[in-house]
Every structure is written in structure tokens, then in C-alpha cells.
Amino acid sequence: MTFRNYVKDYMGMGIINGVILIMILIFLRAFRVEESAVFVVIALYVAAVMLSLLWDYFRKKKFFDHLLVSLEELDKKYLVSEMIATPGFYEGDILTEVLAECDKSMAEQVADYRRQNQMFREYIETWVHEAKIPIASLRLMCHNHPDLDAKMISQLKLLDDNINNVLFYARSENAQKDYLIKEISLKKVFHEVAMNNRVIFQLMGASIDAKNLDISVLTDEKWLEFMMGQIIANSVKYCDANRKLELSVWGEEASDKVLLHIHDNGIGIPASDLPRVFEKTFTGENGRKGAASTGMGLYIVKNLCDKLGHGIHILSKEGKYTEVVLTFFKNDFYKMKH
Amino acid sequence: MQKILVVEDNETLREELKILLENAGYEVALVRDFSNVGKQMADAGSDLVLLDINLPGTNGEVLLQDFRKEKDTPVIMLTSRTGKMDEVLSMSFGADDYIMKPYNPTILLLRISAVLKRGLRKEQTRHYHDVEVSLTKGSLTRGDKEQILTKNEMIIFELLLEQQGEIVSRDELMTTLWDNDEFLNDNALSVNISRLRGKLADLGIEDGIETRKKQGYVLK
């Protein structure tokens, strides 16, 4: 709040005071009042106006400066109404009241959306579990009628995977409530993922090379399984049509961390797309060219890695390979507790 | 014949499970009325129970807890919940294994036979005609001739031997191999089978493994 802008704002009042002062002068002249008395009256009048302006300026300045500084410092601007000082003047009181009212109404609105969101999320979870029942039945039917094509099973598998993605996305937003961090063997997790994808690998004639996975890491088992599943689903999706998929998975142990490499001989990722693959809904060159892509898979994986404290990076050469490396840091604190 | 009790409220799924298990040579009993499941479980006299977690009016975990107070029949939990917390819970209530929907039928069968076999002590030597099969040494011996099998070949031979005279599908072989962390592809399986044939032939058993086109293999 600057004095200049404040005075500018009170220009109207200044003009009215000026006009009245001139009228007083005319009046005093008409009564032939002495020059020195006129001077005193003018001086007193001007002083009165200036003093009242200054007094008003400083009490408002104190309030508004505090308000602006609070606003500046706050991370969540809408909380400013909680920080507001007692204004002690009428306009300030109105402003405070209005802000408080807005705040309350917004809080109600947000709570409402949060509730709706929560209900929707719960509905999605229930829905996913419901949807799994017919899928389970279909799988059994496929098995009980061996004349049905293995392609049908692989389509069912895709359907099941897609449904799982919805579930995991709905959960990943507040994954912290859904953690169970313990020591997990990479071998066990890869085993699950491989078994899940066996039919598709077999149909593709893929070869799998799993080495050195007898390492334990600290993580949440089902989230890691999901992440590896996503990464391998990408290898399946973006494999090169001219050669059979070769997937290598290996662990590497360093003093303070464990690295998990997942390497395929697929179409790779163009160098220009590489920095952006973790962005939400980014589909890139490959997404446009071939397989349907939502751009969500790696985004969720990255998101989960951040929440679980794992590192992830991708190496790739277009037309040659893609390698995803997950980094698990060793944390003595967790170990001591178990 | 071993008897399996299926406790699953979805009718389609239940009937398909019945077909699956009957095809695999088990006797199957179904729970169709869910008003007193606990009693039916206790009275069924089955060798194994497949128990769904989400049931109308009750849930599998509670049922399991009550059931365990009376019997120690093996129980495998079936569920569509994906949280590993359920697994921990079920195990602590005394489930012997846990499978998530939609389960791979072959894996389900593998788990069932594994749980049923658990009590029985696995014999380390078996016999195939006059060949001695040593699981610990991984070898086949006939008279003074001995053949060492690789891990893969042994897994294949063991599975064929367990179901001697019956067709074992490639899918079943693959699932079993993968379940043992041997991630073979189709070609590699064929190579392993033909090597196994070669080793049997070296022991003097020609045509021990017969190929049934589009169905699988039979160990004669």
C-alpha cells in the first residue's frame, strides 16, 4: 500500500474539501476578516484534512500490508482468511467477513467434491472386483473347452490387465494408505509377473532370460508386481514385428542400492520422446504409430516409484532396445525394525 | 478319489469350477445354499475346501476361523481382492494357500495337488517300468546304464510320470516349468522333449513319450 495510490483514491474527498475551503475563503473575505486570521483558518483546515488522511492511511496500511505479506508467504493462498488480523475499521471488517464466508463456502464445496471422488473411487474398486468374476468364469470355460483358441485366453488376459490398471490407478493416488513395506525377493515378484504373462509370451514366441534375481529389496509386493507388469506389458506392446521378443531381467547389487534391469529388443523410444515418457497422457511417436496407448502406464509407475522412494530411469535406442532400470535403496532404518 | 468342496456364490463360476475339477479327476461337492455354510463345510467330509472370501451374508475369513476350530482339512482361499493384506489375514486364519481371481486354471490345479500332497511324504525314488527315477540325483537308471537329466527334463519327466498313460498338454508342461522359474518358450520345450526321448532311447526305451497332435504328450 503506497501513500500516492492512497491519496489518488481520495481525490474526490480532496476536491470537495478544496471547494469548501474556497467557499470559506470567499465567506471570510466577505466579512473582511484579517489576513492573519484567514491564514490561521486555512492552515488549521489543511492540517486537519492532512492529519485525518495520514491517520486513516496508517491504520489501513498496517492491516493491508499484513494481509499482503501473509498472502505472499502462504503456500495455499485460500488459507489467508485464517491469518487475517483484526482490522479495527469498517471496510476491513466487511472484507474479513466476506473472506471468511468465501472460505467456508469453498471448504464445503471442496469437501463435497472430495466425498464424490471418494465414492467414485470406492465404486470403481467394487466394480473391478465384480468384473473379475465373469472374467474368472470365462477363463475356466476356455480351459474346460480346450478346442477354444489360446488367442481367446490372451484377449481375456488383456481385458483383465486393463481392468487391473483402473484399479491400480484409482489406488495409486492415495497409495500411502495401501503400503506394506517388507523385504521381498525380486525372484518371487518376477515369478508372479512371468506367470501372469506366460500365455502371451508363448504366443509371441518370446524368450525370457532371468538372471541374478535372488536379491531381497524393501518394497510393497503388489505395487512392485504391478510396476513390473506395466513395464513388461510395454515390452510386449512395443516389440519389433520383424523379430521375436527377447526379454532379459537381471538384478544388480551395490553397497547402498539394488538395481533391477528389464531389457527388451523392441522398437525403442525416439531420443526426443525419452525425457517425456513419464508425463501424464504422453503417448509420443510410438503411441501414434502403433498400438493403442493411453500414456498412463509409465506415469503411474513413476508416481508409485516416487511414493515408494524407488528410482526409475529408461535407456533406449530407437529400433534397438529399451531398458528400464528400477533402483531400490537400502534403508537400514526399516531393516532394524523387522 | 479325493473330494473337493467348492464354496463360491457365483453360479457360473461354481459350475465351471466343478467341470474343471471333475476333468482333473476329483470328486466335487458344491455349496448352493448359503444360509449355513459353516455347517455344510464341517459335514462335507471333503479332502480340501476351495473357499471364496466374499460370500452373501458372511465372509470366508470368518468361516475359515470357525472351521479351523473343528477341522484341519486343507483350505485354499479364492478371492478377487488384490490387496496382499488379505493374504496375510487368510494365512493367519489358517488357510493353506491363496489364489486370486481370475486364476489361471492350470495354476489352480497345481496348487490344489500341491496342497493335497503336502501331508504325504514325497518319495525320492520312483519307478517307471524297470527304470529307477531318482529325484535327488536327477537321474534315470536301468540296469547298469544311467542317464543324468537336466532340471527342465526332470520337471517334464516327473509330470509325465505322475500322469502316466494320460495326455499331458503342452500348456500344463509349460505352466509347471514356469512355476519352477524355468521360463522356456515353445521351441525350447520341443527341444527338451526330444532330448528326453533321446535319453530314454539310450536306456533302451524307444517311443516312451508319444506325441498326440494338438493335445500334448503321453508317457507310455
CATH number (domain holding residue A212): 3.30.565.10
Half-sphere exposure of A95 (CA within 13 A, CB side): 15
Let me know if residue A270 belongs to a domain.
yes
Interface contact flag, B178 A198, Cβ < 8 Å:
yes
Q: List the one residue out of B163, B162, B155, B149 whose CA is nearest residue B179.
A: B155
* Number of separate domains in chain A: 2
The residues in B 64-123 lying below 8 A from A, measured between CB atoms, are 80-85, 88, 101-107
Let me know if residue A249 belongs to a domain.
yes
Chain A positions touching B88 (Cβ under 8 A) are: 180
Answer yes or no: do A79 and A183 share one domain: no
Chain A positions touching B166 (Cβ under 8 A) are: none
Mean pLDDT of chain B: 84
Task: Please give the ipTM for the structure prediction.
Answer: 0.71
* CATH (residue range B125-219): 1.10.10.10
Res. B81: pLDDT tops 70: no
Instruction: Judge whether A198 and A160 are in contact, CB under 8 Å.
Output: no
Let me know if residue A105 belongs to a domain.
no
Q: List CB contacts of A229: < 8 A, sequence separation 6 or more.
A: A161, A164, A193, A196, A197
pLDDT band, very low/low/confident/very high, at B120 (cuts 50, 70, 90): low
Res. B44: pLDDT tops 50: yes
Q: Kindly state the average pLDDT of the residues B170-181.
A: 87
Interface contact flag, A137 B105, Cβ < 8 Å:
no
Let me know if residue A124 belongs to a domain.
no
pLDDT score, position B83: 56
C-alpha to C-alpha distance for A80 and A62, rounded to whole angstroms:
16
Interface contact flag, A210 B13, Cβ < 8 Å:
no
Chain B positions touching A137 (Cβ under 8 A) are: 10, 12-13, 16
Q: Which class for A137: exposed (0-12), middle (13-18), buried (19 or more C-beta within 10 A)? A: buried
Collect the ranges in chain A with pLDDT lower than 50.
Answer: 336-338
DSSP class of residue A32 equals T
Q: Of A85, A108, A143, which residue constitutes the final position of a domain?
A: A85
How close is the nearest chain A Cα to the Cα of B40, in Å? 23
| Domain interval for residue A196 | 179-337
Residues in chain B: 220
How close is the nearest chain B Cα to the Cα of A129, in Å? 5
Answer yes or no: do A64 and A186 share one domain: no
**Is the Cβ of B178 closer than 8 Å to some Cβ of chain A?**
yes
Res. B34: pLDDT tops 60: yes
pLDDT score, position B186: 85
Answer yes or no: do A183 and A323 share one domain: yes
Chain A positions touching B83 (Cβ under 8 A) are: 178, 222
Reported CATH class of domain B3-118: alpha beta
Question: In this complex, which of A128, A144, A205 lies closest to B20 when CB atoms are compared?
Answer: A144
C-alpha to C-alpha distance for A160 and A229, rounded to whole angstroms:
12
Chain B positions touching A129 (Cβ under 8 A) are: 54, 80-81
Let me know if residue A171 belongs to a domain.
no
Higher pLDDT residue, A177 or B43? B43
Instruction: Judge whether A256 and A327 are in contact, CB under 8 Å.
Output: no
Closest alpha carbon within chain A to B11: A137
Could you report how far apart the first and last alpha carbons of chain B are, in Å? 23
Answer yes or no: do A207 and A58 share one domain: no
C-alpha cell at B70: 473343528
> For chain B, which residues make up each domain, given as ranges?
3-118, 125-219
How close is the nearest chain B Cα to the Cα of A319, in Å? 24
SS3 label, residue A8: helix
**Which residue, among B78, B185, B187, B214, would best test binding to A if mutated, counting the most A CBs under 10 Å from its CB?**
B185
How close is the nearest chain B Cα to the Cα of A295, in Å? 23
**Is the Cβ of B13 closer than 8 Å to some Cβ of chain A?**
yes
